[in-house]
Amino acid sequence: MTPPLRKYLELERLMLILDEEGDAAAETLRDVMDPIWYSLTDEERRLLDDRRIGRIRSLEEIRVPAGSHVFGDAPPPPERRPFPREPIRGWTLAA
């Protein structure tokens, strides 16, 4: 990735955030990005024009493939203790 392309993509990300929030600064930033756009190669501009920009609406929709090496053994169950028969004293200090 060339430095001008990296700059353009980083500014574009900020511009999209501002635009999504309805901030008028998005238009100003879009204008500032023009010189960087024209400094890109024809191939870089074509790649940018041909891509699709998606929006993640919910983190629940994100799925990441992971192998079995990601997971470890489950911890043992907690130690069983009997219920106290007497009233618990000093519980307000811990609450």
Q: What is the pLDDT of residues 10-49, one digit of tens each?
A: 999 899 889 888 999 999 999 999 999 999 999 999 999 9
Q: Quick check: 74 pLDDT over 70?
A: yes
Q: What is the pLDDT of residue 93?
A: 76
Q: What is the pLDDT of residue 65?
A: 64
Q: What is the pLDDT of residue 1?
A: 84
Q: Three-state SS across 36-69? A: HHHHCCHHHHHHHHHCCCCCCCCHHHCCCCCCHH
Q: pTM, whole model, 2 decimals?
A: 0.55
